[in-house]
Amino acid sequence: MSQALIDQARKVMENNDRGTYTVPTHGLYPFQWNWDSALSALGFSHFNMERAWVEVETLMAHQWVDGMVPHIIFHEPDDGYFPGPDVWQTGRVVPTTGITQPAVVGFALRKLYDRAEDKAAARVRLAKLLPKVHAWHQWFYRNRDPNGTGLVAIIHPWESGRDNSVDWDEGLDAVPIEGVAPFTRRDTTHANPDHRPSDEQYKCYIWLVEYFRGLGWDNAKLHDASPFCLVDPGFNGILIRSCDQVADLAEILCDTSIASEAREMAANGRAALESLWNPALGQYTCYNRAAGRLQDTPTIGGLLAAIADVPHGRADALARRIALLGERCGYLVPSHDPADGAFDSLRYWRGPTWLIVNYLIAEGLSRSGQREMAQRILADSLKLIQKSGFAEYYDPMSGEPCGGSSFTWTAAMVIEILKTKRVPA
């Protein structure tokens, strides 16, 4: 059974392979996405290690001079997606967006290196990539944490990777949508509109893009100028863990300066993460930096922080919180608490279960002593695949497939889980 699943997953990945990068899925997302690529590299590493490295190398080749790694790289023109390069206008030779996405590259590189058979060759590749990844992490703390709190903010919901999460509702209330240029969405022609963000939210997304464009995409200005400025525990958790992995890899390369800087960034971030603990909910929650308030939104962002090797007591509480969510749905881990009024089982990040997040939570929980819950999450993930194929995301109540189909990172996670986590399929 598991070999058949692996073969199917591999086929999905190969169909979305464009040679040096993969598209998340044909039609809906026809370019290279940042964290999709890093997680897809994990899938490739089990059947084509060379291709895994190339996926990350292509992504990092489009890093900006200031260190940012953009969230989309528009390798080939395709008018099936909105907003395209003409809206972003970032002035790059190969166009990119002007915002970023969760920093999973450092995390992925550590796994690629560990899996590489030819360590000497892997170290040559790492020596080129590691300074770039470290520069990206430095970019984060310089530009998105200008007051040195230890936690970085996102300035656009798309940066979080959880586009329309309830976490962003309050922050988006502060985004004025007057004057946004008229536009036609393309996503709703590829996927069921009931599974996608609302038109009102789209206006906010585009308003922010136009506003940042008006500021010349100058990252030294954007954090303070943005009316939307949110600190996401999951986003920070991923960055912290990636800083740790960059430090580990730098030690392997005997680069003591990167190693000590990265270690310090991780330690500061991990200490500051505690300020996002929400005792009433028993999980981390987002901090609205623009409004100066810790939110009460019970989303998966606060569970994803488990990836940061959080204290064992916190991991234990997160596992209990996930067990409670398990009583309220059929397939862990819903992206929003089904008991909350804003839960929507079909709408993207407002309820559905996503395999990539499941994998990252399970990875973190098992390292922090919560192996049983980690295994349960992974087992649910495989049940979803068996029931509904390689979808973009799933209804956590019924397990029905939602959004796009034949999804690259979902397939990559299936290979990764089956090859590394010893979950029976």
What does each C-alpha distance from 115 to 49, 81, 305, 309 come to in angstroms?
A: 9, 35, 25, 21
207 or 348: whose CB is closer to ligand GLC? 348
CB of 33 to ligand GLC, least distance (A): 4
39 or 378: whose CB is closer to ligand GLC? 39
Among 255, 392, 395, 416, which one carries the catalytic annotation?
392
Residue 65's closest CA among 90, 33, 32? 90
26 or 123: whose CB is closer to ligand GLC? 26
Distance CA 103, CA 101 (A): 6
Q: Are 376 and 332 in contact (CB under 8 A)?
A: yes
CB of 251 to ligand GLC, least distance (A): 30
CB of 68 to ligand GLC, least distance (A): 16
CB of 4 to ligand GLC, least distance (A): 25
Q: Are 236 and 269 in contact (CB under 8 A)?
A: yes
Distance CA 37, CA 23 (A): 8
Question: What distance lies between CA 85 and its chain's CA centroid?
Answer: 22
201 or 370: whose CB is closer to ligand GLC? 201
Among 163, 232, 337, 416, which one carries the catalytic annotation?
163
Contacts with ligand GLC by CB under 6 A lie at 24, 29, 33, 35-36, 161, 163
- Bridge partners (DSSP) of residue 17 are 22
211 or 407: whose CB is closer to ligand GLC? 407
CB of 313 to ligand GLC, least distance (A): 30
117 or 200: whose CB is closer to ligand GLC? 200
Q: Are 351 and 343 in contact (CB under 8 A)?
A: yes
Exposed, middle or buried, 179 (CB in 10 Å: 0-12/13-18/19+)? exposed
Distance CA 401, CA 414 (A): 15
Residue 20's closest CA among 3, 2, 44? 44
Q: Are 29 and 186 in contact (CB under 8 A)?
A: no
CB of 411 to ligand GLC, least distance (A): 12
392 is catalytic: yes
How many C-beta atoms lie closer than 10 Å to residue 65's C-beta?
6
Kindly give, in sequence order, each residue whose CB lies less than 8 Å from that of residue 290, ignoring residues fewer than 6 positions away.
171, 174, 226, 227, 228, 229, 230
Mind telling me the catalytic residues? 163, 392
